[in-house]
Amino acid sequence: MAISIPCRQLFIDGEWREPALKKRLPVINPATEATIGYIPAATAEDVELAVDAARRALTRNKGKDWATASGAVRAKYMRAIAAKITERKSEFAKLESIDSGKPLEEAAWDMDDVSGCFEYFADLAEALDAKQKAPVSLPMDNFKCYILKEPIGVVGLITPWNYPLLMAIWKVAPALAAGCTAILKPSELASVTCLELAEVCREVGLPPGVLNILTGLGPEAGAPLASHPNVDKIAFTGSTITGSKIMTAAAQMVKPVTLELGGKSPIIVFDDVDLDKAVEWTMFGCFWTNGQICSATSRLIVHESIAADFLDKLVQWTKNIKISDPLEEGCKLGPVVSEGQYEKILKVISTAKSEGATIVCGGARPEHLKKGFFIEPTIITDINTSMQIWREEVFGPVLCVKTFASEDEAIELANDTRYGLGGAVISQDLERCDRVSKALQAGIVWINCSQPCFCQAPWGGNKQSGFGRELGEWGLDNYMSVKQITQYVSNEQWGWYQSPSKLYNFKQLSLLIQRSGFRFLLIWKMGSSEEKVVAVIMVGGPTKGTRFRPLSLNIPKPLFPLAGQPMVHHPISACKRIANLAQIYLVGFYEEREFALYVSSISNELKIPVRYLREEKPHGSAGGLYNFRDLIMEDSPSHIFLLNCDVCCSFPLPEMLDAHKKYGGMGTILVIKVSAESASQFGELIADPETKELLHYTEKPETFVSDLINCGVYIFTPEVFTAIQGVSSQRKDRANLRRVSSFEALQSATRSLPTDYVRLDQDILSPLAGKKQLYTYETGDFWEQIKTPGMSLKCSGLYLAQFRFTSPDLLASGDGTKNATFLGDVFVHPSAKVHPTAKIGPNVSISANARIGPGVRLISCIILDGVEIMENAVVTNAIVGWKSTIGRWSRVQASGDYNAKLGVTILGESVGVEDEVVVTNSIVLPNKTLNVSVQEEIIL
């Protein structure tokens, strides 16, 4: 059937319109060079009308007609368009063929692809509705976030001539699916089928202005579209040089662009291939669509060992390609699109020849075709990599050939180009194909083929082949903007402008403490706008004496496990719970070597940078932070968490506050659980009379020594700090042991002795809570006591308390009924009664006053003061503390290197188990009578 070019106008606002300047451009059949029709030539005036129509269509009926209509509504139109094109497929294919020179059979494939593409994006449009409001998980409970995907707006689509309708539909279909309205500007060299698309849109009743189609020249119609201020995005396919102009124009308006540009793609053929298959893909990869494919694999890189055979076959088959009028049956190669292209391609070939390349086949007009822009499929060898023919896109049926010896060389040749669109690798070794695919710098890689293209997979290039991806879900994303909706869902006031006391409320803080598993925690909120939280951890004990091992004032507490438990383990677990933690500082005065080990172990665990700030002398809890304030402030933190510090009375609060203000702190310091003597500086409980919200309170000394209260919360305003300025009592190094009969007595003792009062170490006191007899310690005696072998500060309430919050399941319940298994780094709370069937594994420490049921096996433990070990217990590798009792038939034993210095110690007058105790590999202190069953004992 003969076909003629329909006479069309511009398609604007759902109507045919004559171009403002009434200009028309000829349609030339490249196979005959005859003018077969005319297309309208749009100019800036028409662009203006089209953009205006698209804008109106976008917002008509508040967007409900198109942009905010459901995806299903848009999909209906798209499917109707697809159906019409399928219906008119043969007519469309013929028009495409006479307009562009494409073989009819290939044009028919394109029409199938066009309908398929509309159908595919119709599916995605429908699916879009269900994907709206996808939640985003946030680290803060008081916010909720979800995502809306919205059409980007009015889009300009500028397309080339090599797949005239298909390249347009790769943009039109996703743009419409997304809810955009569009202005399509096809290439002046092949616009006929795009104008027929306009007619289809009219027929299916696409709302006016949703798709506008302007034909015309690039500089006259394309350029004003690219630079139009009311166009929200440009999607362009064409040459790299035009792409650069489009980007420049769009940049003036900071308009987003996606660019699908030229290429010079390689095809690498290894020596293990099936020759026939590889030759066919090589030909298809370069000569399909008359060699006018952006992704054409036009650089053949073939292994030298098969090059001769491969080339023979390639040349032979190429010579057999049928070149004819594209409408002729069996045509495999039609004319190139235009006279301009024809001249350009012949010139590139002749330049290659003059530079010394060999044209092994083709290179000229086929003899049997006197008219039309026909060029024989051309194969060129003897190329060096600096030649234009190797480096520049020809966009015609021209294949360049080079050989390679090694895989690396092939990859290097393939990547030695400014383009990065496609690439192909042909080999039977699939692992090699995989390697090469990864190494190729391209957006599309084919394995054992070249050019097949599916609208489900992303399409686009790297380097100067452009950016952005068409097709697939990526293609749809090109036309959508992503909106985050973040909602504040808390009932609390946010508090930025509130008094600091309102910044966090009591409930939130309690939660924070529980989560951090930490008692003494100071948080500074700084002025920094970016969320950058740093943690400063005081290590090794904040004050003089406690830095040392209890057994020796000269040996620092070990950083590394004592009974398997790192000394500063708990701040690390607190760090795990701090959101946005960017940096950890450890402040202490350990030896670098010992510290380095520790730092690397925790940074490995937390994956957060850790830095050791070594003190020249101990500054005491928060004093360490103060000492290193300049250094820490270099990080511009938004918050500082000070961990592992107790706010002892030497804490320089006023100075800290000054420093805080100086460094832009917002005047908020939150102190959680201060020590008793610090607490006493801060006056009475203050609550907001209206909201009853706790502003600050003073914990009574007796509650301080009680394990029941672990989450005192202090919120200090700057005024409070001013009020307490100058108030301080001094912690002393020495103290005396006192015996008091009640908490009340303890309270008055501490109050009546402010000058020589020593902060009662909660570590020591907590086990005593609830006992009739209470002890206070005065330093001298205290140190005598604490030097008693077998006692360890580590096995104390402070360490135990954290597990109450962080790992409650690991603790035996207070009533001793829980049948727990203790393994690994856990401590048994002093008030816990361990069930007789409990299994207590390595690295468990049992604090004072625990009662261990009969038959329990205790292995690698530290057992503190006053532990009652019932009959038949087996105690291995353990330190047994003062006044512990060991039942009949119990076995106490240590072996190997375990804590060799300390060994097993049995102390106190109440053991009373002489006949039954078995002590192995141990150090036994004086005044102990052991009977004959003691093995390998060392008696001091």
17 vs 38: CA distance, rounded Å = 15
Run of H or E residues at 149: strand 143-151
Find which of ligand NAD, ligand LWGJIB7O, none residue 703 binds, CB within 5 to 8 Å per kind: none
Instruction: Tell the smallest beta-carbon distance from residue 121 to ligand NAD (Å).
Output: 17
Residue bearing tokens 């512990």: 884
- Asked if 100 interacts with ligand LWGJIB7O (CB under 6 A), we say no
Which of 5, 111, 246, 875 touches ligand NAD (CB under 6 A)?
246
| Region 697-756 residues binding ligand NAD, contact defined as CB under 6 A | none
- Asked if 299 interacts with ligand NAD (CB under 6 A), we say no
Residue 616 appears among annotated catalytic residues: no
590 vs 560: CA distance, rounded Å = 12
- Asked if 464 interacts with ligand NAD (CB under 6 A), we say no
Run of H or E residues at 658: helix 653-662
Contacts of 606 (CB under 8 A, 6+ apart): 572, 575, 576, 581, 584
| Region 160-179 residues binding ligand NAD, contact defined as CB under 6 A | 160-162, 167
| Backbone angles phi and psi of 773, in degrees to 5 | -95, 125
- Which residue in the shown chain puts its C-beta closest to ligand LWGJIB7O? 294
- Asked if 395 interacts with ligand NAD (CB under 6 A), we say yes
Which of 101, 179, 262, 556 touches ligand NAD (CB under 6 A)?
262
Which of 28, 155, 158, 273 touches ligand NAD (CB under 6 A)?
158
Q: For residue 541, give both structure tokens.
A: 């004990």
Are 308 and 466 in contact by the 8 Å Cβ rule? The answer is no
Q: Which amino acid is at 163?
A: Y
Region binding ligand NAD by CB under 6 A among candidate stretches 182-190, 316-324, 344-352, 642-650: 182-190
Instruction: Tell the smallest beta-carbon distance from residue 70 to ligand NAD (Å).
Output: 31
Which of 75, 327, 352, 421 touches ligand NAD (CB under 6 A)?
421
How many CA atoms lie within 13 Å of 472's alpha carbon, on the beta-carbon side? 11
Helices (H), 67-150: 71-87, 89-100, 104-131
| Backbone angles phi and psi of 909, in degrees to 5 | -90, -5
Q: Is the sign of the CA dihedral 797, 800, 802, 805 positive or negative?
A: negative
Nearest Cα to Cα of residue 890 among 865, 925, 866, 858:
858
Instruction: Tell the smallest beta-carbon distance from residue 186 to ligand LWGJIB7O (Å).
Output: 14
Residue bearing tokens 């009959």: 871
Nearest Cα to Cα of residue 621 among 552, 566, 671, 692:
671
Which of 261, 331, 786, 801 touches ligand NAD (CB under 6 A)?
261
Which of 453, 723, 724, 753 touches ligand LWGJIB7O (CB under 6 A)?
453
Closer of 444 and 904 to ligand NAD (Cβ): 444
- Asked if 226 interacts with ligand NAD (CB under 6 A), we say yes
Find which of ligand LWGJIB7O, ligand NAD, none residue 187 binds, CB within 5 to 8 Å per kind: ligand NAD
Region binding ligand NAD by CB under 6 A among candidate stretches 221-229, 368-376, 573-581, 777-785: 221-229
Closer of 294 and 657 to ligand LWGJIB7O (Cβ): 294
Find which of ligand LWGJIB7O, ligand NAD, none residue 453 binds, CB within 5 to 8 Å per kind: ligand LWGJIB7O
Coil vs helix vs strand at 910: coil
Coil vs helix vs strand at 212: strand
Q: Which amino acid is at 3?
A: I
Are 233 and 55 in contact by the 8 Å Cβ rule? The answer is no
Are 538 and 645 in contact by the 8 Å Cβ rule? The answer is yes
Instruction: Tell the smallest beta-carbon distance from residue 293 to ligand LWGJIB7O (Å).
Output: 4
565 vs 211: CA distance, rounded Å = 70
Closer of 169 and 610 to ligand NAD (Cβ): 169
- Asked if 9 interacts with ligand NAD (CB under 6 A), we say no
| Region 158-217 residues binding ligand LWGJIB7O, contact defined as CB under 6 A | 162-163
- Contacts with ligand LWGJIB7O, 278-307, as mask; x by CB under 6 A: ---------------xxx------------
- Asked if 242 interacts with ligand NAD (CB under 6 A), we say yes
875 vs 863: CA distance, rounded Å = 10
Q: Which amino acid is at 6?
A: P
Closer of 443 and 908 to ligand NAD (Cβ): 443
Catalytically annotated residue among 260, 393, 470, 615 = 260
Contacts of 61 (CB under 8 A, 6+ apart): none
- CA distances to 245, 259, 566 from 236, rounded to whole Å, are 11, 5, 61
Q: List contacts with ligand NAD (CB under 6 A).
A: 158-162, 167, 185-188, 218-219, 222-223, 226, 237-239, 242, 245-246, 260-263, 294, 393, 395, 421, 461, 465-466
**Interacting residues toward ligand LWGJIB7O by CB under 6 A:** 162-163, 293-295, 453
Query: So which residues are the catalytic ones?
Result: 260
